[in-house]
Structure 1
Amino acid sequence: MSNPTHDPVTFDIIQNSLQAISDEMFAAMRKTAMSAIIYEVLDMGTGICAADGEIASSGAGIPAFIGVLDKAVKAVLRKHPVTAIYPGDVFATNDPFYGGVTHLNDMVLVMPVFAEGEIVAWTANIAHWNDVGGMVPGSMSTDAKEIFQEGLRVPAIKLIEKGVSNQAVMDLMMVNSRLPAYLKGDMWAAIAAVRIGDKRILDLVAKYGKDTFVAAMDHFMDYGEQVTLKALKDLPKGKFSFAEEQDSGQIYKVTVEITDDEFIVDLIDNPDQTPTPNNASRDGVIVACQMAIKAVTDVSAPANGGSFRPLVVKTRPGSIFDAQEPAAHAFYYEVEIRVFDLILRCLAQHLPEKLSAGSFASICGTVVGGPHPDTGRHYTIVEPEIGGWGAMPGRDGNNAIFSGFHGETFNCPAEIAEARYGLFVDQLALNPEEGGEGQWRGGKGIRMDYRVRADGNFLTCGYTRSRILPWGMQGGHDGTSNHIEVIKTDGSRKRYAFATGVELNQGDIVRVVTGNGGGYGDPKKRDRAAVIEDVKNGYLSPERARTVYGVEV
C-alpha cells in the first residue's frame, strides 16, 4: 500500500502545478523582455529541472530550446560544487562547450530552488539575445572560423550570488554588445522569470512537503519512461539507415536501431567538424534526437527526463555532430535541424501514418541591420521564417508555419517590424512557386519583401534546403527551395542561402522565399474538388492543374 502522502492524485496536482509554473515563467519573460524576437517571436523557452538537472516540466516555446535547459543545469553542477551553490544564486551560460549547447546568442539562466537547506529543483530559461558582440552585428557570421569570433563567451558562471547582482559580470556583458539596452532588458526579464519560478515552487513545497514534492517528480520521470517504452513496442524493429546529400555537398548518414527498450541513433560515420560556423555540439545533437524519438513515440504526453531514458545517441568527437573547442557554432541550428530531418526521413517510409513527406525544414535565420533612418541608432532584426510542411496520407501539408524543430513561435508582425526596425514590409504572401504536388499536396511556404529605408544596411542569412529540396513520397513531387533574393534599385538580382554582411541601401528589397513542402501520392489521384479549390485559392494555376493533375479548371 502506497504512502498516503504520495497518492497519485497529489502527484498529478504537483505535476500540473509545475507545468503551470513553467507557463507563468514564460509569461513573465514574454511580458518584460525588450527584444521583439523574444516578446513577439517567442524565440525562448522555460522549464523546471529536478535537483540532478533532469528536465521535469517544460513551458511553452521552442522545443529545441526546452531540451537545452537540463544540459545547462548539469553543466553548472559539474563546474560548481553543491557546497558553493546558495539560495538566491542565478547562473548564466551561453557557451556550447560549457552547457550553453547552442550558440553564443542563446543565453541560458538557471536558478537553484532550496528547501530545508538542499536543492530540490532548478528554474531555467533560454532566449536569443540579438547581439553578444563578435565580428559582426547580430553576432552571427558565416565567415567565423572559431568561437572567439562569435561574441562574448559566458561559461556557466554566477550572474547573481545569494540574491546580489554581480555588477562586474553584467557590465562586461553589456559593454560587449552593440545593443546594450536590449541586452540589459532581456537579461532582467530572464532573471525575473527564474525568480518567479523559484517563489512558486517554494509555495508548492510548503503546501505538500519536500519529500512529497521530490517523490512526485521522481514518479513522473518513471512515468515518462514507461510511456516511451510502451510506444517503442509498437514501432517496427530493426536497423534503418539513410544517407542524404546536403546543400554543401557533404553526405550526412544515420542508422536508427529500434528495439523493445532502446531507440539508438548512430551518427558516428559523418564528416569532420568544419572551419565554419556550421557545427553542432553533442548536447545539441542529442536535443535533435530527443525531438525525433518524441515525434515517433508519444506526441501528446509531456516530455521529461524519463521520456528519453531509452534514447542512445552515438557521435564521434571532432565530427560536425560533436564539434570540439574552439569550433564556431553560429549556425548550429541548421546542422541540428538536418539531424532531426535525417532521422525522420530515415523512418518515414516505415512509419507513413506518423511521418510526412519532406518539409521546408530550416530555421531560415534572417538578420538585417544598420542605422535606423529615423533615429540613426543601430538596429538589428533577427527573424526565423515560416514555411511549408510535407503532406502525409489523408492530409495536405501545413501552410506557412515554423518547422517542427522550431515549434511554438510566431513570425514578427509587419507592424512591429516597421515600428521597431528600419524596414518596410511590402508583402507577405504564400509562395506561388510550382512544386509539392501530390494526391495530398505539400504546404505552401512564404514570399516576404523587406524594403530597406536607409543606406549602409546589411544582410546576414543562413538557409538550408536551398539546393536539396523537400522530398516527395509515393509519387508526390518534391517541394521548393529556401532562399533569399536581394533586388537592387537598378533591377539587378542576386540569390543567397548563406551570406554575411551583404550590402543594402535605401530602396533595396530583401525577398525571403521559403519552400513548399513535398507532396504525398500520385497527383493524378488527387480529388478533383481539391484541385479546383487549390486553383480558387491561388495555390495552383489552371495550367499546372491541367498538366500535373489532369484537371481542367
Structure 2
Amino acid sequence: MRAHSRDFASHILPSSPPSPGVLCAFGDAITSLRHEVGRTHICKLADVKASDIIDTCKSLASQASEVLEKQGIIPSRQRHTFEADMRYSGQALSLPVGFSLKALEEDGLHVLERSFTALHHSLFTYSLDLHVEIINLRSRVEEVSEEIILKDLAKSDEGGIPSAEALTGRTQIYWNGTTYTEVPIWERTALRDGDHIAGPAIITEMDSNTIVMPDHRAEVDRFGNILLWPTDSAGVRAEDNQKVVTELVEAALANARLEMDALILRSALSPAMREQLDYFPMISAGSGPNDGKMVIGQFGSYIQHFLRIWKGTIEEGDVFLTNDPYDVQGGISHLNDMLVMLPVYHNGKRVAWTANQGHFTDVGGQSPGSLPINGRTIFEDGIQIPLSKLYDRGKLNEALVNVICRNSRTPDFSRADLHALVAACRIAGQRVTEMCTRFGTEAFETALNDLLDRNKIAFAQLLKTSIPARRMTFSDWMDDDGTGMGPWKVSCTMFKEPLEDGSGERLRLDASTDPQAESSVNWLTTWKMRSSAYLIKALDPSITLNDGAYDLMDVRIPLGTLLNPVRPAALSCRTHLLGRTLDLILGLIGQRQPRFMTAAGFSDSPHLFYSGWRADGTWFQLYQIGFGGVPGRPVGDGLDGHSMFPSMKTVPNEFLELYFPLRIEHYSTIPDSGGAGLHRGGNGVRIDYCFLRAGELSIHDDRWLTKPWGVNGGEPGARSSKTLVRASDGARISLPSKADFIAVREGDVLEWCTWGGGGYGAPYARPAEIVAREVREGLVTRDGALRYGVALTDALEVEAGATANLRAEMIAQMAAKGREEGAFEINRGGTLAEIFERCEEETGLLPPRLPSGRTLRGPAAGLEHIVALHARRQAEDREEFGNNYERYAGLAAESAGGAVGAGGGRRCC
C-alpha cells in the first residue's frame, strides 16, 4: 500500500510555483493584445459558396484589425486566425473549427467539413453522414509578441542537499498535536534544481511561505516549482487511505455521470434527448458478487439480469444493445428506449459497466412516434432489437445500425442518438480506467463495494426509524387505456418482515392490479428500483442512490397483471402506469408518517406527437413531453409546471418554431389548477400549438377522469384537457386523453392543458395575504380565492371582515363533517361512482368502460390466479357501482348499441 499511497498522493498533493503572489503581474507582462469580431452566419455548407465565407471573414478581419491599430499595433505586427462554429444540422451545441483563408480559397468548403468531422470524431468518437451547418464566423487578430524563454535553475549537488546559503534560520512549529523544534527555514530563491527538503520545514520567499509537512518531502524542479510528496514513513493506514479513495471515487463517478449528460446534450439530434434530456446514464460494478449493480445513476441496474440470460462472450471493446423490455426484465420500459451497455476493462479485467438508455423518437410501429395506443401486442409497437452486440471487440455492426435506421421514420435522429449513447458510455469508461490507474484496481473495486454497502446500511436504518411496523395499503387508478376502457386499478401493500438469518428486516411490497390490458398501457415494471429510489430520496435525500438497498427489499407482483405482463403484451404507452405508481408510494408512506404526507401530483409524462410533410417534401416529426403541477407538501407548495422526472427540461419555443411548422400562441400556468390547501398544489400548464402544415397528432395523457387527490383537507387538483380549435369554423372539439391519427389542418390550434397537483391541508389555514398575492400574480383567480375563504377588495387586497366570516363558515363545515385536523384523509373529488355520473357534464366526454366487464383474452387469460383476480375485481366494482355496474362495464351498452366508453383514446377527428 505504500507504493499505492505515493501514487495516490502524486495526484492530490499540490505543487507550488515560484512567487505565486506575482504571477498575475507576470502574466500581464507577457500577454499580447488580442481582439475578435464574430457574426452569426447560419447556413448549411451545401447551401453556401466558399467566396461568401471568405468575404465575410475578410470583413470581420478588417474590423478586428482596426481595433488593434487604435491600440498602436501596426498591421505588420498582427496575426489573423479564423474560426467557424459548426454542427450537424439539428445538434444543440456547436464546435469551434479553426481554418485559414488560404486553405478555403484553395480547397473550398471541403476543408471546413473535413476539419469539423475530424474534431467531432476526436471529441465524441464518431462522425455522421449528415448535413453540416455553420452557426457563427469569427476573426481573431493578435499582437505578435516576443517569445518568453524561462531560465532553468542551477543543478543541485549530488544527493540533492540544498546549499548552506539557502538556510536562513530555524524555528519551532506545532503540527497535528506535536511540537517540532529546530525546523529549518529555507530561502526559495537560493534553492536549485533537484534540491530535496525533508519535512517539517518552511520555504520562504518575498510574497509567500510554503510548509513541508512532517512525513513529507519537497523536491524542486528546474523551473523552481516545489513538488510535495509523502515519505515512506507517512504512516497512512490502509483503511484510512481507502476511506479517502472511496470518497474520491464517489465524487469522480458523479462527475463521470455528468460528463455523460453533457456529451449527449452536445451531440444528440432529437429534441427528446438534446432538449428534454430523456436519457438516463448509469455506472455499475463490474466484478464479484456486486457485478452489474448500479453505483451511480437514476433508475437502477438492468445489467445483472442481462448477465443471467446472455449466453455469448463478453470481451473488451464490446458494446451491447437492446430495446426489448422483456430482455432486461423491465430495465427499459418500451421499445423507444434504446439501451446501450459497455463493459469497462483495466489491464484485462472487467472492472465496471457503463450504460445509457435514451428515448428514440421513432422505432417503427403503427403510428408516428412508435407509441400506438391501439397496439395489441409488442409487435405493433415497433421493431424489437434482442440483446445483441452493437460492437464486437471494437468493430461496429453496421448492419444492425442500418436495420434500426431503416425501421425509423426519423433515421437521422436514430443514427446520431445511438452513436451519442455509445460515446457517453465510452467517456464514462475512460474515466473509470483513469480511476483504476490512479488508485489501483483493487482500491477502485473496494470503493464500489463500500458505496453499495453504505447504501444498504443507510436503508436498513431507514427501515428501523421511518417505516412503521403496521401494514399499509393504498390504491389509485389510471383513467383509461386509450380504447375506451378504464379506470385501471393499481394497489400496493407495504410492510416489514424479518430476514431469514435474523440479521434485520426487509421491506415487503405486494402489488395488486387489474389483469394485463389488451392495449399498450401495460408496464413491465422495475418496481423495486423505482420504489427504493423514491423511498431513499423522500426519507433521506443525503443518501447516495444505488442498488445497495436491493437486498433489503422484496417486491411481489403477480404474473399476468398490468405491472408484470406476459409477452407479447404491448408496452408502448406504459408512462401512465409508471407515473401513477409514484402517487401510490406517496399514499403508502404518508399514511403513518405526517412529514411525508403529500397529495397526488403530476404523476405522468404526457406525450404530444405532431408529424407530416413539409412543403419541400421532407418529413417532420415532433415528440414533446408535458409538464404539470407538483403536489402540496408538508414543507410547502407544489411547484408549477414541473416534469415528472426532475432532470427533464421543456423544449424551448424558439427551437420548436425553428425546426417544426408550428407556432406557440400561448404558454402559461393555469390559474386555480393546483388544489387549494394550506399548501397549494402546483398549477398545470397550458400550451396552444398553432399548426402551420397539415398533419396528424397523437396524444398520450391521463387524469382526465380521476383527479389528483388532495390530502388532510386539501382539495384535488384540476383535471387535464385537450381541445382542438378548427381554423375553418372555430369549432371546439374535446379530445380524449389518448388518441392517434388526429388530423389537423393549417391554422388549427391545439389547447393542451395539463393537470395540477393536489392541495395539502385545509385551505382556510393558508395565510390570506399569500392568497391575495397569488391572485395578483395570476396563479389564483379572484373566484379561486374564495376556495381559501379569502375575500378581496377591488384592489385585490384582503378584505379582513368578509374573510374572517368565510373562514368561520368553512371551519364549522369541517367540524360538522367530523373531520379530524391532521388525520390522513384523501379527497378524490368524490367516489368513482360519483365521478362517473358527473363525467360527461364535467369533461365533455363519456365515461370509460370498466375493465372488470371485459372477457379476458391473451396469454394471461388462462392463469388460475388471473381468473380469480378478475372475479374479485368484478365483485369490487359491483359493490362500488351498484345497479349501474352493467351500464359502466359496457355490458348493457353492448347489448343496446350504446356509446359508453367513448371517453377513451382512439383514432379520431
Asked if structure 2 preserves the Cα contact closer than 8 Å seen for 1:526 and 1:549, the reply is no
Alignment partner for residue 662 of structure 2, among 385, 401, 423? 423
Distance in 2 of aligned mates of 1:182 and 1:369: 14
Deviates further, 515-524 or 89-98: 515-524
Is the CA contact (8 Å cut-off) linking 1:132 and 1:178 kept in structure 2?
yes
Aligned amino acid, residue 763 of structure 2: P
| Equivalent position of 2:717 in the other structure | 479
Equivalent residue number for residue 401 of structure 1: 642
2:477–2:580: 8 Å Cα contact kept in structure 1? no
| Equivalent of residue 458 in structure 1, options 696, 699, 702 | 696
What SS class does the counterpart of residue 256 from structure 2 fall into?
A: helix
Secondary structure of the corresponding residue to residue 353 of structure 1? helix
Specify which of 15, 33, 40 is matched with residue 250 of structure 2: 15
TM value normalised by structure 1: 0.93
2:396 alignment counterpart: 165
Q: What is the deviation of 1:126?
A: 0.9
| Aligned AA (1:194) | C
C-alpha contact 2:528 2:550 (8 A) present in aligned 1: no
Q: Cα offset for 1:454?
A: 0.8
Q: 2:306 aligns with which of 68, 76, 79?
A: 76
| The structure with more radius of gyration | 2
Give the distance between the partners of 1:350 and 1:511, measured in 2 at CA. Answer: 40
Please state if 1:117 is matched with 2:117: no
Once the two structures are superposed, the pairs formed by residues 341-490 of structure 1 within 5 Å of their partners are 341-373=583-615, 375-403=616-644, 406-433=645-672, 436-455=675-694, 457-489=695-727, 490=729
Give the share of equivalent positions with the same residue, in percent.
27
- Please say if residues 265 and 289 of structure 1, whose CA atoms lie closer than 8 Å, have aligned partners that are also in contact: no
| Distance 1:278-1:547 versus aligned 2 partners, 3 A rule | closer
| SS state at 1:192 partner | helix
Q: Give the Å deviation of 1:346.
A: 2.5
CA contact (8 A) 2:494 2:510 kept: yes
Partner residue, 1:274: 517
Between the aligned partners of 1:5 and 1:550, the Cα distance in structure 2 is: 60
**Further displaced range: 181-190 or 487-496:** 487-496
Question: Matches of 1:381 and 1:300 in 2, distance apart?
Answer: 38
Residue 364 and residue 10 in structure 1: after superposition, are their counterparts in 2 closer, same or farther (change >3 A)?
A: same
The answer on 1:261 being equivalent to 2:502 is: no
Structure 1: distance between partners of 2:635 and 2:571: 39
Report the number of matched residues. 537
- 1:394 CA drift (Å): 4.2
Describe the superposition over 1:430-481 as per-residue Cα deviations: whole angstroms up to 9, x where unpaired: 01245511122111110001111111x1111221222111111111111011
Alignment check: 8 A CA contact 1:107 1:128 kept: yes
Going from structure 1 to structure 2, the CA distance change for 1:108 and 1:355 (only over 3 Å counts) comes to farther
- Deviation larger for 116-125 or 432-441: 432-441
Match of 1:189 in 2: 420
**2:327 is matched by which residue type in structure 1?**
Y
Q: Is 1:96 aligned to 2:336, yes or no? A: no
Report the more deviating stretch, 477-486 or 143-152: 477-486
Letter in 2 for 1:398: L
Q: Are 1:293 and 1:311, in contact at CA under 8 Å, matched by a contact in 2? A: no
**Retained in 2: the 8 A contact 1:424–1:450?**
yes
Contact 2:586 2:599 in 1 (8 A): no
**Which residue matches 2:123?**
none
- How many Å separate the matches in 1 of 2:787 and 2:407? 57
Q: Deviations over 1:184-217 (max 9, x none)?
A: 1111111111111111111111111111111110
TM-score, scaled relative to structure 2 = 0.57
Please list every run of 5 or more consecutive structure 1 residues that lacks an aligned counterpart in the other structure: none
CA deviations on 1:251-282 (whole Å, 9 max, x unpaired) are 22110114563221111x32111111110114
Q: CA RMSD in A?
A: 1.8
SS class of match (1:273): coil
Partner of 2:284: 49
* Partner SS for 2:588: helix
Deviation at 1:502, TM superposition (A): 1.0
Indicate how the Cα distance of structure 1 residues 291 and 491 shifts in structure 2: closer, same or farther if over 3 A, else same: farther
* Residue 357 of structure 2 is aligned to residue 148 of structure 1: no
The corresponding residue for 2:765 is 525
State the one-letter code of the partner of 2:524: S
| 2:735 matched residue in structure 1 | 495
Amino acid at match of 2:403: L
**Residues 672, 781 of structure 2: 8 Å contact kept:** no
CA distance in 1, matches of 2:356, 2:477: 35
In the alignment, the residues of structure 2 paired with residue 196 and residue 360 of structure 1 have an alpha-carbon distance, to the nearest angstrom, of 34
SS of the equivalent of 1:234 reads helix
**What CA distance in whole angstroms lies between the structure 2 residues aligned with 1:159 and 1:245?**
40
Structure 2, unmatched stretches of 5+, are 1-235, 480-485, 498-503, 794-909
Separation in 2 of the partners of 1:207 and 1:88? 22
Deviation at 1:287, TM superposition (A): 3.2
Residue-by-residue CA offset, 1:225-258 (whole Å, 9 max, x unaligned): 1111112222222210122343122322110114
| Kept after mapping to 1: 8 A contact 2:362/2:368 | yes
Contact 1:477 1:518 in 2 (8 A): yes
Whole-angstrom CA distance in 1 between matches of 2:538 and 2:673: 30
Structure 1: distance between partners of 2:757 and 2:393:
51
Find the aligned partners of 2:742 and 2:488 in 1 and give their Cα distance: 25
Partner residue in 2 for 1:180: 411
Deviation digits for residues 157-182 of structure 1, max 9, x if unmatched?
A: 10011111011111111111111111
Distance 2:332 2:408 in 1: 21
Which of the residues 561, 567, 573 maps onto 1:331? Answer: 573
